[in-house]
């Protein structure tokens, strides 16, 4: 039944009162139907809070599913490409999942919260595919996006601040661990996860306690230059971290309209997430075949000469033939590189290949074009020791 009101165009997250008070630039965008800040005050300073002190990013709009039931573990193992057998209670795993053609529907994280409860967190929505995949399993899948408020709390001083907040022992969480802490009248779930390749945590709480959580972080971080950060700053950090994003670096398979626009995990550099030897998982047959026959594309991280981001650039080979396109690009200030993620036709993109990015840039009404040489990046772009060090130190 309906209440006679026009539903709002955009929702506000449970942190909105705090976010809007802090958002001096008043610059917003629509992220999965929520009003979320593009930037708060200064993108550069927000970025450096992530890399130098601590940052708060509201991730409530991420899609979250709760999976319960006797077959939850087996079901998820069948859904995703990675082997989940060793995903114990208190652990989180990053994985991808595919359709039957072996094309990536999305990537995301699975949290083993307690015995028979899992949370799957992702950028896109998957309930229909998850329900089809659940046939034959004793599981219940619920969309709990609106039931869980969440913050990503990232940066070298993040652990120190959480300790001040009273999360005793949080420094002992290893990467991809999760732990519950009492918080007021509720429980705060803390996972050592994030989208920045740095020391950092994600904090999950009931919406009613969201504002209190925000306030507690700001209070505890008062002397630590903790800053809320918007989408633009995060974008730089995630490119620096080398992480791909659904809808940006690949077309989620279920949304594909044109032939051959979606990608397999191998074609996204996610081959390490595929465990072909698992008894059975969605897309297994197709991926086995691809492994034999070879892939159509290679996903490559490039270091582009010069300092102009190669946004939307064509990538050429030495013979001046287009061999691919850039999907994400940024000058990354900490690693000091000009990074471009590129989807290239096979066999291009192997280390040592000579590749060129065609970059257009505008200066006072004048467009200029440069061809810049690209080097395939083999090592992680940004991978500080503090990212994995346990116990986490007060950097």
Partner 1 sequence: MKKYDAIVIGAGHNGLTNAAYLAKAGLDVVVLEKNPYIGGATVSRELHEGWMYSNCSYVCSLLRPEISRDLNLPKFGLQVIPYVGGVTFKRDGDYFGNYDDHERQYREIARHSKRDANAYERYTADVTKQTRFIRPFLLRTPPDPTSFKPRDIQELLFLAKSFYNLGEKVLGDTLRFWTMSIGDFLDEYFETDVIKCHLAGSGIIGTALGVYSPGTAYVLLHHYMGEVDGSVGAWGFARGGMGSVSKALAGAFQSFGGEIRADAEVDRILATAGRTSGVVLANGDEIYADIVVSNLDPKRTFLDIMAEEDLPASVVKQAKNFKIRGSSGKLNIALDGLPTFNSLPPKSPLMTGDMHFIDSLERMERAYDDWKNGTWSQDPYVDMLIPTQVDPTMAPVGKHMMSVFVQYAPPKLATGKWTDKDRDAFGKTVIDQIGSYSPNFKDLILHAEVRTPQDIEDEVGLTEGNIFQGELTFDQLLFNRPFPGYAQYRGPVKGMYICGSGTHPGGGVMSAPGANAAREILMDLNHPTTVPEAYPDD
Q: How far is the CB of 186 from partner 1 (least distance, A)?
A: 25
Instruction: Assess 257 for contact with partner 1 (CB under 8 A).
Output: yes
**What is the enclosing helix (H) or strand (E) of 77?**
helix 72-79
| Choice between 32 and 386, CB closer to partner 1 | 32
Instruction: Assess 30 for contact with partner 1 (CB under 8 A).
Output: yes
| Choice between 16 and 301, CB closer to partner 1 | 16
Q: How far is the CB of 157 from partner 1 (least distance, A)?
A: 35
Tell me if 143 sits within 8 A of 65, measured CB to CB. yes
User: Which residues have CB under 8 Å from 318's CB, separation 6+?
Assistant: 354, 356
Q: How far is the CB of 260 from partner 1 (least distance, A)?
A: 8
Instruction: Assess 345 for contact with partner 1 (CB under 8 A).
Output: no
Measured over the CA atoms of residue 262, residue 266, residue 272 and residue 276, the dihedral's sign is positive
Residue of the chain from 88, 115, 258, 367 that contacts partner 1 (CB under 8 A)? 258
| Choice between 37 and 155, CB closer to partner 1 | 37
| Choice between 124 and 372, CB closer to partner 1 | 124
Residue of the chain from 24, 33, 307, 350 that contacts partner 1 (CB under 8 A)? 33
Which three-class secondary structure state does DSSP give residue 82? coil
User: Which residues have CB under 8 Å from 239's CB, separation 6+?
Assistant: 328, 329, 330, 332, 339, 341
Which three-class secondary structure state does DSSP give residue 267? helix
User: Which residues have CB under 8 Å from 366's CB, separation 6+?
Assistant: none
Instruction: Assess 1 for contact with partner 1 (CB under 8 A).
Output: yes
Strands of the chain, DSSP E: 27-31, 34-39, 54-58, 63-68, 92-98, 104-114, 117-122, 140-143, 149-154, 178-183, 186-191, 200-205, 226-228, 297-304, 314-317, 322-332, 337-345, 355-363, 366-376
Q: Which of 198, 240, 232, 239 is nearest to 40 (CA)?
A: 232
Instruction: Assess 260 for contact with partner 1 (CB under 8 A).
Output: yes
Per-residue interface string for the shown chain with partner 1, residues 44-83, x marking contact by CB under 8 A = ----------------------------------------
**Measured between alpha carbons, how far is 333 from 342 in angstroms, rounded to an integer?**
20
Q: How far is the CB of 131 from partner 1 (least distance, A)?
A: 6
Q: Which stretch binds partner 1 (CB under 8 A): 15-23, 68-76, 164-172, 253-261?
A: 253-261
Q: How far is the CB of 122 from partner 1 (least distance, A)?
A: 12
| Choice between 143 and 171, CB closer to partner 1 | 143
Within 13 Å and on the Cβ side, how many CA atoms surround 12?
A: 9
25 phi, psi to nearest 5 deg: -75, -15
Instruction: Assess 385 for contact with partner 1 (CB under 8 A).
Output: no
Instruction: Assess 29 for contact with partner 1 (CB under 8 A).
Output: no
Instruction: Assess 255 for contact with partner 1 (CB under 8 A).
Output: yes
**Measured between alpha carbons, how far is 267 from 290 in angstroms, rounded to an integer?**
10
Q: Which stretch binds partner 1 (CB under 8 A): 28-36, 67-75, 170-178, 329-337?
A: 28-36
Q: How far is the CB of 322 from partner 1 (least distance, A)?
A: 16
Residue of the chain from 29, 171, 254, 311 that contacts partner 1 (CB under 8 A)? 254
Q: Report residue 273 as tokens.
A: 């997430």
Instruction: Assess 6 for contact with partner 1 (CB under 8 A).
Output: yes
Report 94-153 residues binding partner 1 (CB under 8 A). Answer: 101, 125-129, 131, 143
**Measured between alpha carbons, how far is 278 from 274 in angstroms, rounded to an integer?**
9
Residues binding partner 1: number (CB under 8 A) = 28
Instruction: Assess 365 for contact with partner 1 (CB under 8 A).
Output: no
211 phi, psi to nearest 5 deg: -65, -40
Q: Give me the residues that bind partner 1 (CB under 8 A), please.
A: 1-2, 4-11, 30, 32-33, 101, 125-129, 131, 143, 254-260
């Amino acid at each position: 039944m309906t209440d006679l009101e026009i539903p709002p165009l955009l929702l506000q997250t449970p942190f909105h009162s705090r976010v809007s008070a802090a958002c001096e630039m008043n610059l917003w965008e629509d992220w999965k139907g929520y009003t979320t800040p593009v930037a708060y005050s200064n993108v550069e300073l927000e970025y450096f809070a992530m890399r130098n002190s601590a940052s708060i990013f509201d991730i409530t709009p991420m899609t979250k599913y709760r999976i319960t039931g006797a077959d939850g573990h087996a079901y998820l193992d069948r859904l995703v490409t990675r082997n989940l057998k060793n995903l114990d209670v208190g652990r989180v795993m990053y994985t991808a999942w595919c359709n039957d053609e072996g094309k990536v529907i999305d990537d995301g994280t699975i949290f083993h919260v307690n015995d028979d409860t899992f949370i799957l967190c992702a950028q896109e929505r998957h309930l229909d595919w998850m329900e089809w995949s659940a046939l034959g399993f004793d599981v219940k899948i619920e969309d709990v996006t609106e039931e869980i408020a969440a913050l990503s709390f990232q940066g070298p001083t993040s652990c120190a601040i959480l300790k001040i907040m009273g999360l005793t022992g949080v420094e002992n969480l290893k990467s991809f661990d999760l732990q519950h802490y009492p918080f007021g009248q509720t429980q705060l779930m803390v996972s050592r996860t994030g989208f920045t390749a740095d020391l950092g945590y994600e904090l999950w709480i009931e919406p009613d306690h969201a504002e209190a959580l925000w306030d507690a972080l700001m209070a505890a971080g008062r002397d630590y230059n903790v800053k809320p950060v918007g989408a633009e700053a995060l974008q730089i950090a995630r490119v620096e971290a080398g992480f791909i994003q659904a809808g940006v670096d690949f077309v989620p398979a279920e949304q594909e309209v044109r032939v051959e626009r979606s990608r397999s995990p191998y074609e996204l550099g996610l081959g390490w997430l595929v465990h072909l030897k698992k008894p059975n998982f969605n897309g297994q047959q197709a991926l086995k075949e691809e492994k034999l026959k070879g892939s159509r594309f290679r996903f490559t991280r490039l270091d582009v000469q010069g300092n102009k981001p190669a946004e939307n650039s064509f990538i050429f080979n030495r013979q001046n033939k287009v061999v691919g396109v850039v999907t994400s690009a940024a000058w990354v200030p900490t690693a000091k590189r000009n990074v471009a993620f590129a989807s290239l036709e096979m066999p291009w993109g192997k280390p040592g290949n000579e590749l060129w990015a065609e970059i257009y840039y505008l200066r006072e009404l004048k467009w200029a074009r440069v061809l810049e040489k690209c080097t395939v990046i083999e090592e992680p772009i940004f991978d500080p020791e503090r990212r994995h060090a346990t116990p986490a130190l007060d950097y």
